[in-house]
Amino acid sequence: MAKEFVPESLKFSHEVKEKTVKFTENALSNAADELFLGLYSTYHSVKLAEKGLELARKNLQRQQELFDKGIITELELEEAVLDLKEAENSVKKAKRDFENMHRTFNRLAGLPLDFRYDLIGTPRTDAEDIRITEDEAVKSALENRMEIWSTKRQIELVELRMEIYRHKNVYKFDYYTIKDYAEAQDELENLKLTLVQQEYDIEKEIRQAYKDLKKSYNNLKLAELNLERQKNQLETLKKQYEKGLIPASAVEQTELAISNLEFAVNMSLISYLNKQDRFYRAISVGPGVTE
């Protein structure tokens, strides 16, 4: 036991520490990804709210001019005033959300809580489809996930202990060895059952995550196509405005709608990239997709 089992146990403890470091790095990366998504979302929500406020001010100015000319009623003017107040409140709320998220992000990044980025943009990368097949992803996860590796190594250690006890049939006549050997048998059976359950759960998790990632990628591409259609529609509206067929407000509202769509597409892009990173970490040492 001192010559063979103890060194192997110490080796296992060292390996656990190494795996735990990588596992923790992956977990922190997952957390940072999600916080960046929140930071990006709140930052650009402020920008969109400010655009909405600018349009509300322009609309109130137009409505005031129409009211002064007796073209609209006082009620219609009051609606424009209420729209402006609502837009102002939206800006205040968006800025408050951004400040709260920024402080949370700074805590993880180790930055002063009052530190502020001047610009928070989208990653300089395009979304790529999954580079491996579903079966390859499952195979990688079953080979590399920390919980499966740990259970397999524990099984190896128990089997080594039992092999040592079987040397010269010591486990048959020494009282303490007989007891320990029986406990090792029970432990081995429990570990094998645990391994079967872990493999089942992880395979199920990875296959579902693979399908979700594929769906997220397809949704992103559809959103990008929809954005292009809306931009083409905006060009048509601009031509109609130049001919005096529609008011300026129609063009401005469409421009705001496109800004919202661009924001939604960028959010989908970052969300997909985050899911992709989390997926590839889940088929390595971990943690799992839902952890």
Where are any strands of DSSP class E within 80-122?
none
C-alpha 101/C-alpha 116 separation (Å) is: 11
* pTM, full prediction: 0.83
CA angle 249, 221, 140 (to 5 degrees): 150
- Token look-up 């997952």 returns 30
The type of residue at 40 is Y
Evaluate whether 106 touches 115 at the Cβ level (below 8 Å).
yes
**pLDDT for position 171:** 63
Neighbours of 176 (CB within 10 A): 9
Per-residue model confidence as pLDDT tens for the chain (291 residues): 778 888 888 999 999 999 999 999 999 999 999 999 999 999 999 999 999 999 999 999 999 998 998 888 889 899 999 999 999 999 999 999 999 999 999 998 889 988 888 888 887 777 788 889 999 999 999 999 999 999 999 999 999 988 888 777 776 777 678 888 888 899 999 999 999 999 999 999 999 999 999 999 999 999 999 999 999 999 999 999 888 888 888 888 898 999 999 999 999 999 999 999 999 999 999 999 887
**pLDDT for position 33:** 93
* Four-residue CA torsion sign, 59, 60, 65, 70: positive
C-alpha 127/C-alpha 234 separation (Å) is: 26
Q: Report the phi/psi class of residue 142: left, alpha or beta, with left for phi > 0 and alpha for psi in -120 to 50.
A: alpha
- Which residues, 6+ apart, have CB-to-CB distance to 45 below 8 Å? 94, 97, 98, 263
